Chains A and B, each alone.
Chain A
């Protein structure tokens, strides 16, 4: 498996563990573009052939990739922030540890623009993109933070991954 595929698994582990196996293939399809990428976003309607339900069956990882692609400039500025990385990571971990959604949002909004603007922007973009899934708001926020944590933990791999995904978008 190539480096991008391996890193996609790490992102999927943070975001949607049920889709870990699918992540490398989905990432490859996303990077290929065209019909392959379109298929990733063919999500269930209100009913499926087979008559079984659709809720929670739609895949989330394509929207994660889309979110990362849209937030690529902000993420790249975060992962290349050198000495600030440690602080950014601890802020994200701190936000994840807050269990109440409203308090977490409040805490995030109170962060000063400098140097946290890219962090807040990344968080908002990914969370907004996940609105296309059937995930509840609280879970969307948490997934966005967990992705951010993983990106900040491995800045070199993250930069390569984000550049590829952002460039494909």
Chain B
């Protein structure tokens, strides 16, 4: 350790997770509309399109629920931010965390932690070793660190590595991200169980529908036989195979892929925000310990092959191992800092691809016009790009963080950080300008006088429920606002990123 223990907040990255939370709060009204629509679909007494084809088709409705689930979980997860004591009660009960016993190793850890986080409380369970340590909130301001037998052992075995792990947890405490994510949060719990939900609510119901249909065909054949009409066995088998390969499997695959895209579009921002918090915590641990070796040593243990499912689950709470290794080795370089800063803005682009993938696989974009989707996304997210840009420009100038957190008394690190902020801000500027240009282009198109809007202009009042034409299909939507003959519409069942301005010629009264 370099002995430069800092007691103030030590932040390197902007607080991306808190920013995501802010965006999330703004989008809650839209999310409630989405949830309402899907719940209405789920419990509707009328047959939804397609489900009346098969006798058990109603089971396919459960697939709606899997699309609804990420939204509900995120909402509940955000609610737990306001109930930190509930989460601490859950964690302390689950892991049987209590006041630490009188052990020399724990006292040494307390002394070490008090240099970096004097108000961080310590709870322990030194019987189990399936955990090392994690930080969790006790209240809005108070946090505790849970320490387990494995870390006590590591403290004796390799104290430098154990200290690095504690510093990593201290960084989480300083970033105050434990309120949003971390052990016991709804968010991680959902991600860890998503596959189970998916199999129960999508795969099994669809297989049941397929299985029932196969039985029904055989029964029909048997009935026909009793009245003297015989269907050859080969024809029956062929019919079942055709159903399986031409209807059920492609349908199942389409649902799987579109659900995957949908889930990615919802979870990608908080997930990447979480990764950033982890990488930031790694960075702090490296800067405090003076070298990446102890962190690499702690991480290196995990390079052995693990089960693919565990590997995927680890991704849901931590960045990929290779990325962490790479970042640890490039912590003081311009490229390392730029990538660290750029990851969160890039998540918005990944979200765009996921939304486009969803629209393509869920049958929304029939003619494959991706450009329109991209333009709509940039139009709607231009404010986001400017907010990101503003933060990137202002954050490194805040003296409190600059003095205490950014330079670490090292000019090289300081320079790398400044360059990283500059390059990232430049790239985000490009994205922000793209959004503005998309808007300008749209206005130019919308304002062109056409015969259609000159003669048949209808002034749809705000709140009207209408159908809107989008790439050859008509979709139920709601008028949010209007300006001359252009209307901002929200597509029902789709989140606000799909909201767009359309001219009156694309709107018609909702079909009864």
Q: Secondary structure at chain A's binding surface: helix, strand, loop or mixed?
A: loop
A21 cross-chain contacts in B, Cβ below 8 A: 103-105, 152, 156
Q: How far is the CB of B126 from chain A (nearest CB, A)?
A: 6
Judge whether A44 and B299 touch: CB under 8 Å: no
Interface residues on B, range: 35 or more
Using A36-B127, A39-B96, A47-B313 as known contacts, say yes or no to A53 and B300 having CB atoms under 8 A apart.
yes
Decide if A111 is an interface residue (CB 8 Å cutoff): no
**Contact string against B for A residues 74-87, beta-carbon threshold 8 Å, 1 for contact and 0 otherwise:** 00000000000000
Complex CA distance for A39 and B310, rounded to whole angstroms: 21
Q: How far is the CB of A167 from chain B (nearest CB, A)?
A: 20
Q: How far is the CB of B182 from chain A (nearest CB, A)?
A: 8
Judge whether B133 and A42 touch: CB under 8 Å: no
A48 cross-chain contacts in B, Cβ below 8 A: 130-132, 150
Complex CA distance for A22 and B152, rounded to whole angstroms: 8
Using A18-B153, A47-B306, A47-B310 as known contacts, say yes or no to A53 and B299 having CB atoms under 8 A apart.
yes
Using A22-B152, A39-B125, A57-B154 as known contacts, say yes or no to A52 and B314 having CB atoms under 8 A apart.
no
Q: How far is the CB of A83 from chain B (nearest CB, A)?
A: 39
Please tell me which one of the listed residues B96, B127, B278, B300 contacts residue A26 in the complex, with CB atoms under 8 A apart: B127
Judge whether B130 and A47 touch: CB under 8 Å: no
Please tell me which one of the listed residues A22, A49, A51 contacts residue B299 in the complex, with CB atoms under 8 A apart: A51
Interface residues of B in 100-150 (CB under 8 A from A): 101, 103-105, 125-134, 149-150
Q: How far is the CB of B191 from chain A (nearest CB, A)?
A: 12
Using A40-B128, A42-B128 as known contacts, say yes or no to A54 and B153 having CB atoms under 8 A apart.
no
Decide if B301 is an interface residue (CB 8 Å cutoff): yes
Using A50-B165, A51-B314, A52-B298 as known contacts, say yes or no to A18 and B156 having CB atoms under 8 A apart.
yes
A55 cross-chain contacts in B, Cβ below 8 A: 301-302, 304
B149 cross-chain contacts in A, Cβ below 8 A: 19, 22, 26, 59
* Highest count of chain B CB atoms <10 Å: which of A21, A25, A26: A21
Judge whether A25 and B127 touch: CB under 8 Å: yes
Complex CA distance for A57 and B131, rounded to whole angstroms: 9
Complex CA distance for A64 and B455, rounded to whole angstroms: 89
Judge whether A51 and B310 touch: CB under 8 Å: no
Q: How far is the CB of B412 from chain A (nearest CB, A)?
A: 27
Decide if A136 is an interface residue (CB 8 Å cutoff): no
Of chain A, the residue at the smallest CB distance from B146 is A49
B306 cross-chain contacts in A, Cβ below 8 A: 45-47
Q: How far is the CB of A24 from chain B (nearest CB, A)?
A: 10
Using A25-B127, A47-B313 as known contacts, say yes or no to A52 and B132 having CB atoms under 8 A apart.
yes
Judge whether B129 and A25 touch: CB under 8 Å: no
Complex CA distance for A109 and B286, rounded to whole angstroms: 51
Using A50-B134, A59-B153 as known contacts, say yes or no to A39 and B128 having CB atoms under 8 A apart.
yes
Judge whether A44 and B150 touch: CB under 8 Å: yes
Judge whether B324 and A51 touch: CB under 8 Å: yes
Complex CA distance for A36 and B128, rounded to whole angstroms: 9
Q: How far is the CB of A90 from chain B (nearest CB, A)?
A: 32
A97 cross-chain contacts in B, Cβ below 8 A: none
Using A29-B127, A47-B314, A48-B131 as known contacts, say yes or no to A56 and B156 having CB atoms under 8 A apart.
no
* Highest count of chain B CB atoms <10 Å: which of A19, A46, A56: A46
Decide if B87 is an interface residue (CB 8 Å cutoff): no
Decide if B318 is an interface residue (CB 8 Å cutoff): yes
Decide if B183 is an interface residue (CB 8 Å cutoff): yes
Complex CA distance for A53 and B165, rounded to whole angstroms: 11
A25 cross-chain contacts in B, Cβ below 8 A: 101, 126-127
Decide if B307 is an interface residue (CB 8 Å cutoff): yes
Judge whether B324 and A22 touch: CB under 8 Å: no
Decide if A156 is an interface residue (CB 8 Å cutoff): no
Using A18-B153, A22-B153, A44-B150 as known contacts, say yes or no to A49 and B103 having CB atoms under 8 A apart.
no
Decide if B467 is an interface residue (CB 8 Å cutoff): no
Decide if B169 is an interface residue (CB 8 Å cutoff): yes
Decide if B168 is an interface residue (CB 8 Å cutoff): yes
A57 cross-chain contacts in B, Cβ below 8 A: 129, 132, 150-151, 153-154, 301
Q: How far is the CB of A143 from chain B (nearest CB, A)?
A: 15
Decide if B444 is an interface residue (CB 8 Å cutoff): no
Using A42-B129, A44-B130, A45-B310 as known contacts, say yes or no to A50 and B169 having CB atoms under 8 A apart.
yes
Judge whether B301 and A54 touch: CB under 8 Å: yes
Decide if A43 is an interface residue (CB 8 Å cutoff): yes
Please tell me which one of the listed residues B96, B101, B302 contacts residue A47 in the complex, with CB atoms under 8 A apart: B302
Decide if B451 is an interface residue (CB 8 Å cutoff): no
Of chain B, the residue at the smallest CB distance from A37 is B127
**Contact string against A for B residues 156-177, beta-carbon threshold 8 Å, 1 for contact and 0 otherwise:** 1100000001001100000000
Complex CA distance for A126 and B128, rounded to whole angstroms: 21
Decide if A58 is an interface residue (CB 8 Å cutoff): yes
Decide if B317 is an interface residue (CB 8 Å cutoff): yes
Q: How far is the CB of A165 from chain B (nearest CB, A)?
A: 16
B150 cross-chain contacts in A, Cβ below 8 A: 44, 48, 57-59
Judge whether B301 and A53 touch: CB under 8 Å: yes
Judge whether B301 and A51 touch: CB under 8 Å: no
Q: How far is the CB of B108 from chain A (nearest CB, A)?
A: 11
> What are 12 A-B interface contacts by the 8 Å CB criterion?
A17-B156, A18-B153, A21-B103, A25-B126, A29-B127, A39-B125, A45-B130, A46-B306, A49-B132, A51-B319, A52-B299, A57-B153
Tell me the A residues contacting B by CB distance below 8 Å.
17-22, 25-26, 29, 35-36, 39-40, 42-59
Tell me the B residues contacting A by CB distance below 8 Å.
96, 101, 103-105, 125-134, 149-154, 156-157, 165, 168-169, 183, 278, 298-304, 306-307, 310-311, 313-314, 317-319, 324
**Contacts A39-B96, A53-B302 supplied; 19 other A-B pairs, CB < 8 Å:** A18-B156, A19-B153, A22-B126, A22-B149, A26-B149, A39-B128, A42-B129, A45-B310, A46-B306, A47-B306, A49-B317, A50-B165, A51-B278, A52-B165, A53-B303, A55-B302, A57-B151, A57-B154, A59-B150
